Structure 1
Amino acid sequence: MVLAVVIGAGAGAGSIVFRWCIQFFTRLFSGHADYAAAAGSSHPHVSWLGPYFVLFAPVIGGLLYGPLVNRFAKEARGHGVPEVMLAVAQRGGRISPKVAVVKTLASALTIGSGGSVGREGPIVQIGSALGSTLGRYTRVTEGRMKLLVSCGAAGGIAATFNAPLAGVFFAMELILGAFSAEAFGALVLASVTASVIGRAAFGNTAFLDLPDFRVDNLAQYGLFAVLGVVAALVGVGFTRILYWIEDACDWAWRGPEWLRPAVGGLALGVVLLVLPEMYGVGYPVLQNATEGKYAVSFLILLLLGKVVATSLTIGIGGSGGVFAPGLFIGAMLGSAYGTAVHQLMPGEAGPTGAYALVGMGAVFAGASRAPITAVVILFELTGEYSIILPLMLAIVLATATSRLLTKDTIYTLKLRRRGIDLEGPARNARIGGQRVGTVMEPLPEPLPASTPLAHAADLLSLSPHGALPVVDASERYIGVVTAQAVAEVLSEQPEGAPVTVEKLAEPPAPVTADQPLATALGHLVAVNGTGVPVLDRIHGKPVGWLSHQGALRVLHTTS
């Protein structure tokens, strides 16, 4: 708990330094506190260039941060959160301490010179690096190390957005990937500490001054539901385009990596010249959209421009987050949708700002599939309880739709493209990389679904597994019945117990023969009995049995 407070304080202080660096470089490169608020203006110190200075700002910035990242910390390139997720999932929470320094400078230079990315990804990586460094110095266990890294991430989000609850749930949903009382307590301490320090420096105000939210009639819930589905499509599309443009940049570039951001900065400069609202994070533009100040056609142009500008910034080797761009894209979508609906149904639609706010959360949820974080951060930003119901509706639909469309999120896809599966064994790991089909045991004789319960109890008592597969009259696998389930039914409600085992058969999480053993272990520890059936991936029929003892035997012989 003490370490969590210290890390929270470090993340809060890091966010202050990081924001100061962004402000300094933004004024240096653009001559304005936030060029997106003065889009199209000239640089006061090179006014003779007019707005054309934006062609050169990304090039100069790239010449500075390109060699810095390439020489000292290549993991500082990109949006940062996937690297932290990988460190926690497969590297015991180990992150190099130099990442904090390099990420601070590289991301501040990227954003200050016009890169269209967010500041939350960098501060997550900065805070996580601080947590990892402190964990190594204090020699904590691997489990505690992962928790300290998550504390750094929570503190970074909390201080950046002045949203302490969002920081906690961001760390639990995306970084730690688990919920426990101990983790929640530590994350709250880190998040609150970082928020207190952030508020002392920046005031107790949200990073956006969002409009009041209200729902005028029940019909609007149907409109919010449609927005949630559309937002999922946009979020998934943003993810695909982001990595498609990154692939295109990889294909096109043949020179040294340290020079790539500067040369690619020319292309980014052209985008900024055409649409200067894309310069930096773009909070002033987001603010105007939520207030309904833009026409639908311009909102769609801003949405597409942000997708391209963010993807290009990441693709050329820039450093920055995709959380804020996701909120930006969602605000443009929601505002355009709300304006269009208001024109079609002026008496039913309600205020445009309401749709912009829901769109922000729904697009982020569609891209990241972190629904709790999306709900909490919008609630904290607005302070309006009335937003919860439509926001939850849209975000749940966006998350479900996104899950139907793609297996990966905007964070995990970056890792999977490098051949890394967070749910599987670490790359080159000796333990857990075996396929289940190579370690499974023979399948126990399945029970017909019509087997009387008393007879099934006798067979289960003789089985060494404490569980048996159940098949129907067509030999189709329908689930597993356990000795515990039969014993509970016979002892608690003997008069109302089912006649056969069919009603007690429940299918556990599917384990297939082609899965890595490390992935199957997660399902194995969650079941009753001493094992699970192994299924053929194509036909779904049981072909073997994976037991706790068999898995431990394999792990022992390869360790």
Structure 2
Amino acid sequence: MPYSYKKIKIPLLWLRRHTSDREFMLVSSVLVGLTAGFAAVVLKTLVHYIQALLAYGNRLLDQPYWLVVFPLIGILLTVLVVTFFFRGSIGRGTANILYNISQKSSLVERHKMYSHVLTSAITAGFGGSAGLESPIVVTGSAIGANYGREYHLNYRDRTLLLASGAAAGIAAVFNAPIAGVLFAIEVLLTDISISAFIPLIISAVVGALCSKIILQEDILFNIGQREFFAAEHVPFYVLLGILCGMVSVYYTRTALRVEELFEEYQTKILTRAIVGGALLGLLIMLFPPLFGEGYDSIRLLEAGHAEQLLQDSWLAFFGTNEWLILCFVGALALVKVFATTITIASGGNGGNFAPSMFVGASTGFFFSRLVNLLNISNLPTSSFAMVGMAGILSGVMHAPLTAVFLIAEITGGYTLMIPLMIVAASSFALVKYFEPYSLDTKKLAQKGQLLTHNKDRTILRIMKIRHLIETEFQPVSPEATLGELVEVIAHSRRNLFPVVTAGGKLDGVILLENVREIMFKTEKYELVKVKELMVKPPATVQYDDSMADVMKKFDESGAWNLPVLHGDEYLGFVSKSSIFTKYRRLLIKTTNVS
């Protein structure tokens, strides 16, 4: 153990022994927030200087082929780093952290405290069209979880520190502590009490202070609020919310479809990286604003200088016609989804947070400028671009409160709070109807590995049949005699006996109450076979059935024990009593700090 690490750890161990759990958690939230905030600062700074080193901008306009080469190089470098230093997998995205919470008791691999900073900096720095927020969420979560593991905290406290690290990361990236707290609550924590807010708030504030003190203003994403809310624009904000909901559904389904296409190259890592990097480079050459996170483009849209987006594009040849600008921005909103998903699916590291904001700003600008060009009304394009960001964030991430307060914080004012709430709520309501789960959680939900705000459903999803199978039931052969059955009964404490063939197939079950009378008639011991006494079980459970399906079978059959099969092969029984016992233990384990 390094000497410097010992110097830090020894006082904390003393503090752990000599303070209450609550006091230690408060100190821990400060340290986790400080570390996660500093990690966010390092990540943003790395990306800033990589892009400065590559000199992306006016100096590359004379050599547009670099727009193809740089993203390809970034993805290849990321793949090589992951392959040779992190055993080929680092677990990308917020979904991976949700999986760790629900399936691994909030234990996160140690390398995630730094692996995502390195790989996402390479991807985004070289022009990968993805955001840094998901990597910093993973990094902050890993910092909090491993801190909790190091000091032997229980599941609840470890999960809370995991969420505190994520909150600090988001707060540091945007200098938005409220949004950081709300993100942790909406996305990571499925059940939270009032006292748990304190560590989250402390970590988020500390993380935000890190970025505010260390980072330069041009590295942080801040935009000034230029226009104010007018009540007569409410109907247009409602329409924008509906449009954002539709675009969010398009975003989610398109992203999942593109990911499926790249899964064909799952074992061909370099091929996948080259194909994806080349496609991304071509997209960026056609639409240069797709290079990197896209915050510079958002600033131009917010400032009303959308024509500057065309300066690097081949479309600049046709001038700066208003309708041309409108079509270009609308196309950016649609194509950004492909660029981001290709970046991630081909082996790059990043997330959908910043791209959602990019698509939202483009959508809001497109809608308001279209209304203005048609002379329907005179809408403030800056306000609609900012509010559009909240609409897409709410729809794609399924986090409306995070979206509302994030945009309010980065604009430095709350005068747009009403339209932010209208658009975020409208978008979320529409998306929820078509897509019950967010982009990051849909696959986990399909596998039954997702924690939800419904505590009963959450616990049922955590429980697995394979952990509940009871094998002490004595099997009997269908060809066995009554006498042999009586001998088995005499040495068993159960009143249920599976009838299993020599090949392991379940033929039926013997219930003690059904043979109680005949088992005392010794004259029939050699005459009656088990297959004549067995009955069909009221229901069977498959090895891979979800616990919700299992409980439904128990309710419909009225049975207390059901046989578990793997195809036709008999494995054992599952009982209501074992399920209830496991349920109670998990309920205690997953209940947050009170």
Aligned letter for 1:100? M
Query: How many angstroms does 1:255 deviate by?
Result: 5.3
Alignment correspondent of 2:33: 8
Distance verdict in 2 for CA 1:91–1:77, change over 3 Å: closer
State yes or no: 1:170 paired with 2:183: yes
Is residue 2:121 matched to residue 1:108? yes
From the superposition, tell whether residues 518 and 371 of structure 1 become closer, same or farther in structure 2 (CA, over 3 Å): farther
> Aligned to 2:225, which of 194, 208, 211?
211
Report what 1:322 is aligned to: 352
Question: AA paired with 1:355?
Answer: F
Question: How do 1:416-427 residues align onto structure 2 when only pairs under 5 Å count?
Answer: 416=445, 420-422=449-451, 423=458, 424-426=460-462
Q: CA deviation at 1:137?
A: 0.6
Indicate how the Cα distance of structure 1 residues 262 and 62 shifts in structure 2: closer, same or farther if over 3 A, else same. Answer: farther
Match of 1:415 in 2: 444
Pairing partner for 2:82 from 47, 66, 69: 69
In the aligned structure 1, how far is the partner of 2:191 from the partner of 2:177? Answer: 18
Report if aligned partners of 1:208, 1:283 keep a CA contact under 8 Å in 2: no
**Among 33, 39, 55, which residue is 1:31 paired with?**
55
Aligned length: 447
Residues 80-91 of structure 1 mapped to structure 2, 5 A cutoff: 80-91=93-104
Which of 137, 141, 165 is equivalent to 1:128?
A: 141
Shift of 1:94: 0.6
Q: In the TM superposition, what is the alpha-carbon distance from 1:134 to its structure 2 partner?
A: 0.7
Deviation at 1:310, TM superposition (A): 0.6
- Higher gyration radius (CA): 2
Task: Give the corresponding residue for 1:524.
Answer: none
Which of 333, 343, 358 is matched with 1:313 structurally?
A: 343
Q: For each residue in 1:155-195, what CA deviation from the matched residue of structure 2 results, as whole angstroms up to 9, or x when unmatched?
A: 00000000000000000110112231122111001001111
Report what 2:300 is aligned to.
288
Separation in 1, partners of 2:558, 2:52: 64
**Equivalent residues of 1:77, 1:319 under 8 A apart:** no
Give 2:329's match in structure 1, choosing from 299, 318, 322. Answer: 299
Letter in 1 for 2:52: R
Q: 1:520 to 1:359 in 2, by over 3 A?
A: farther
Aligned AA for 2:334?
A: L
Determine the C-alpha separation between the residues in 2 that align with 1:150 and 1:358. Answer: 27
Give, in angstroms, the shift of residue 54 of structure 1: 1.9
Q: How do 1:326-365 and structure 2 match up within 5 A?
A: 326-345=356-375, 348-365=377-394
1 CA distance for matches of 2:106 and 2:100? 5
The amino acid that maps onto 2:130 is: V
User: In structure 2, what is the Cα distance between the partners aligned to 1:16 and 1:6?
Assistant: 15
CA shift, 1:226, in A, is: 1.0
Report the AA paired with residue 44 of structure 2.
R
The alignment status of 1:380 with 2:409, answered yes or no, reads: yes
Which amino acid is the alignment partner of residue 260 of structure 1? R
**Which residue of the other structure, out of 285, 295, 298, is the alignment partner of 1:273?**
285
Cα distance change of structure 1 residues 212 and 258 upon mapping to structure 2, 3 Å threshold: same
Report which stretch shifted further, 133-142 or 83-92: 83-92
Deviations along 1:30-66, one digit per CA (max 9) or x if unpaired, are 324xx4xx5xx418xxx7xx11112221222223210
Q: What is the CA deviation profile of residues 338-378 of structure 1, one whole-angstrom value per residue up to 9, with x for unaligned ones? A: 111123346x4431111111110011111121111111111
Partner-residue secondary structure (3-state), 1:385? coil
Percent identity for Structure 1 against Structure 2: 29
- Cα gap change, 1:329/1:254 in structure 2, threshold over 3 Å: closer, same or farther? closer
Is residue 203 of structure 2 the alignment partner of residue 181 of structure 1?
no
AA of the residue aligned to 2:449: I
Q: State the shift of 1:77 in Å.
A: 5.2
Contact 1:433 1:516 in 2 (8 A): no
Hey, what's the Cα distance between the residues in 1 that align with 2:449 and 2:74? Answer: 31
1:135-534 equivalences under 5 Å are: 135-202=148-215, 207-216=221-230, 218-251=231-264, 253=265, 256-257=268-269, 260-294=272-306, 295-345=325-375, 348-416=377-445, 420-422=449-451, 423=458, 424-426=460-462, 430=466
Cα distance in 1 for partners of 2:243, 2:173 equals: 28
Structure 2 runs not aligned, ≥5 long: 1-25, 307-324, 452-457, 471-540, 561-574, 586-594
Give the drift of 1:551.
5.7
Query: Are 1:70 and 1:257, in contact at CA under 8 Å, matched by a contact in 2?
Result: no
Q: In the alignment, residue 281 of structure 2 is paired with which amino acid?
A: G
Where in structure 1 are there 5+ consecutive unaligned residues? Answer: 435-512, 522-533, 537-541
Q: Are residues 204 and 23 of structure 1, via their aligned partners in 2, closer, same or farther at CA, if it must alter by over 3 Å?
A: closer
Q: CA deviation at 1:257?
A: 2.2
CA contact (8 A) 1:75 1:99 kept: no
CA distance, structure 1, for counterparts of residue 122 and residue 32 of structure 2:
25
Aligned partner of 1:442 in structure 2 is: none
The amino acid across from 1:256 in the alignment is K
TM-aligned CA distance change 1:74 to 1:193, over 3 Å: farther
| TM-score (norm: length of structure 2) | 0.69
Match of 1:42 among 53, 56, 60: 60
SS in structure 1 of the partner of residue 438 of structure 2? coil
Partner AA of 2:226 in structure 1: D
Distance 2:335 2:275 in 1: 20
Indicate if the aligned counterparts of 1:130 and 1:149 stay in contact, CA closer than 8 A. yes
- Deviation of 1:520 (Å): 9.8
CA-to-aligned-CA distance 1:502-555 (integer Å, 9 cap, x gap): xxxxxxxxxxx999886699xxxxxxxxxxxx889xxxxx958999xx965534
Residues 222 and 65 from structure 1, CA distance in 2 versus in 1: closer, same or farther, beyond 3 angstroms? Answer: same
> Residue 417 of structure 1: CA displacement?
5.6
Partners of 1:316 and 1:362 in 2: CA distance: 28
* CA–CA distance in structure 2, aligned partners of residues 520 and 383 of structure 1: 49
**Partners of 2:180 and 2:582 in 1: CA distance:** 42
Contact kept, 8 Å, 1:433 with 1:518, in 2: the verdict is no
Matched, 1:554 2:579: yes
Q: Give CA-to-partner distance per residue, 1:476-516, whole Å, 9 cap, x none.
A: xxxxxxxxxxxxxxxxxxxxxxxxxxxxxxxxxxxxx9998
Over aligned residue pairs, what C-alpha RMSD do you find?
A: 3.1
Separation in structure 2 between the aligned mates of residue 113 and residue 554 of structure 1, nearest angstrom: 51
Q: Secondary structure at the match of 2:105?
A: coil
d(CA) in 1 for partners of 2:369 and 2:106? 46
